[in-house]
Amino acid sequence: MNRFYELVLIDRIKKLEEKNKRLKIEIKEHKKQNPVFVDNGNHEECMKLWNRIEELEEENENLKFQHEKMAEKIRELRKFKNEAVKRVVSAEKN
Protein backbone atom coordinates (compact mmCIF):
# COMPACT_ATOMS: atom_id res chain seq x y z
CA MET A 1 0.00 0.00 0.00
CA ASN A 2 2.81 2.43 0.85
CA ARG A 3 4.55 1.73 -2.46
CA PHE A 4 1.31 2.50 -4.30
CA TYR A 5 0.94 5.77 -2.38
CA GLU A 6 4.57 6.63 -3.16
CA LEU A 7 3.97 6.00 -6.87
CA VAL A 8 0.86 8.18 -6.78
CA LEU A 9 2.85 10.99 -5.17
CA ILE A 10 5.67 10.62 -7.71
CA ASP A 11 3.13 10.78 -10.54
CA ARG A 12 1.55 13.88 -9.00
CA ILE A 13 4.97 15.53 -8.72
CA LYS A 14 5.64 14.82 -12.40
CA LYS A 15 2.31 16.39 -13.33
CA LEU A 16 3.06 19.43 -11.17
CA GLU A 17 6.48 19.78 -12.77
CA GLU A 18 4.89 19.64 -16.24
CA LYS A 19 2.33 22.26 -15.24
CA ASN A 20 5.12 24.35 -13.76
CA LYS A 21 7.01 24.20 -17.09
CA ARG A 22 3.88 25.20 -19.01
CA LEU A 23 3.31 28.14 -16.67
CA LYS A 24 6.91 29.28 -17.05
CA ILE A 25 6.54 29.16 -20.84
CA GLU A 26 3.28 31.10 -20.66
CA ILE A 27 4.90 33.72 -18.42
CA LYS A 28 7.81 34.06 -20.85
CA GLU A 29 5.41 34.42 -23.77
CA HIS A 30 3.47 37.17 -21.98
CA LYS A 31 6.69 38.98 -21.16
CA LYS A 32 8.05 38.49 -24.68
CA GLN A 33 4.89 39.81 -26.32
CA ASN A 34 4.71 42.75 -23.93
CA PRO A 35 8.29 43.52 -22.86
CA VAL A 36 7.60 47.11 -21.88
CA PHE A 37 4.14 48.48 -21.57
CA VAL A 38 4.09 51.92 -23.10
CA ASP A 39 1.03 54.05 -22.54
CA ASN A 40 -0.41 53.94 -26.02
CA GLY A 41 -4.02 54.27 -24.98
CA ASN A 42 -4.29 50.55 -24.19
CA HIS A 43 -3.58 50.79 -20.49
CA GLU A 44 -6.51 48.55 -19.48
CA GLU A 45 -5.30 45.69 -21.67
CA CYS A 46 -1.77 46.11 -20.34
CA MET A 47 -3.02 45.91 -16.77
CA LYS A 48 -4.96 42.72 -17.56
CA LEU A 49 -1.81 41.15 -18.98
CA TRP A 50 0.28 42.17 -15.98
CA ASN A 51 -2.36 40.78 -13.64
CA ARG A 52 -2.35 37.50 -15.59
CA ILE A 53 1.44 37.34 -15.34
CA GLU A 54 1.24 37.89 -11.59
CA GLU A 55 -1.42 35.17 -11.29
CA LEU A 56 0.76 32.74 -13.24
CA GLU A 57 3.80 33.53 -11.13
CA GLU A 58 1.77 33.03 -7.95
CA GLU A 59 0.40 29.72 -9.25
CA ASN A 60 3.94 28.71 -10.12
CA GLU A 61 5.06 29.42 -6.54
CA ASN A 62 2.12 27.41 -5.20
CA LEU A 63 3.09 24.48 -7.42
CA LYS A 64 6.66 24.65 -6.15
CA PHE A 65 5.35 24.55 -2.58
CA GLN A 66 3.12 21.54 -3.37
CA HIS A 67 6.07 19.83 -5.03
CA GLU A 68 8.21 20.35 -1.93
CA LYS A 69 5.46 18.98 0.33
CA MET A 70 5.04 15.87 -1.82
CA ALA A 71 8.78 15.31 -2.02
CA GLU A 72 8.91 15.48 1.79
CA LYS A 73 6.05 12.96 2.02
CA ILE A 74 7.93 10.60 -0.32
CA ARG A 75 11.05 10.90 1.86
CA GLU A 76 8.94 10.07 4.92
CA LEU A 77 7.44 7.03 3.19
CA ARG A 78 10.87 5.78 2.12
CA LYS A 79 12.17 6.22 5.66
CA PHE A 80 9.15 4.33 7.02
CA LYS A 81 9.68 1.56 4.45
CA ASN A 82 13.38 1.27 5.29
CA GLU A 83 12.60 1.05 9.00
CA ALA A 84 9.97 -1.61 8.34
CA VAL A 85 12.44 -3.63 6.26
CA LYS A 86 15.01 -3.40 9.05
CA ARG A 87 12.43 -4.63 11.57
CA VAL A 88 11.47 -7.56 9.33
CA VAL A 89 15.11 -8.52 8.78
CA SER A 90 15.79 -8.22 12.50
CA ALA A 91 12.75 -10.35 13.31
CA GLU A 92 13.82 -13.00 10.79
CA LYS A 93 17.28 -13.18 12.37
CA ASN A 94 15.75 -13.80 15.79
Q: What average pLDDT is seen over the chain?
A: 81
Residue 61: predicted pLDDT: 87
Residue 39: pLDDT above 80? no
User: Which segments within 16-67 are labelled E, that is strand?
Assistant: none
Average pLDDT over residues 7-23: 83
Average pLDDT over residues 9-23: 84
Residue-wise pLDDT tens digits, 41-80: 666 777 777 788 888 888 888 888 888 888 898 899 889 9
Contacts of 27 (CB under 8 A, 6+ apart): 53, 56, 57, 60
- Its pTM stands at 0.47
Domain assignments of the chain as residue spans, ordered by start: 14-93
Count Cα atoms within 13 angstroms, Cβ side, for 20. Answer: 15
Residue 1: predicted pLDDT: 53
Tell me how many helices (H) and strands (E) the chain has.
Answer: 2, 0
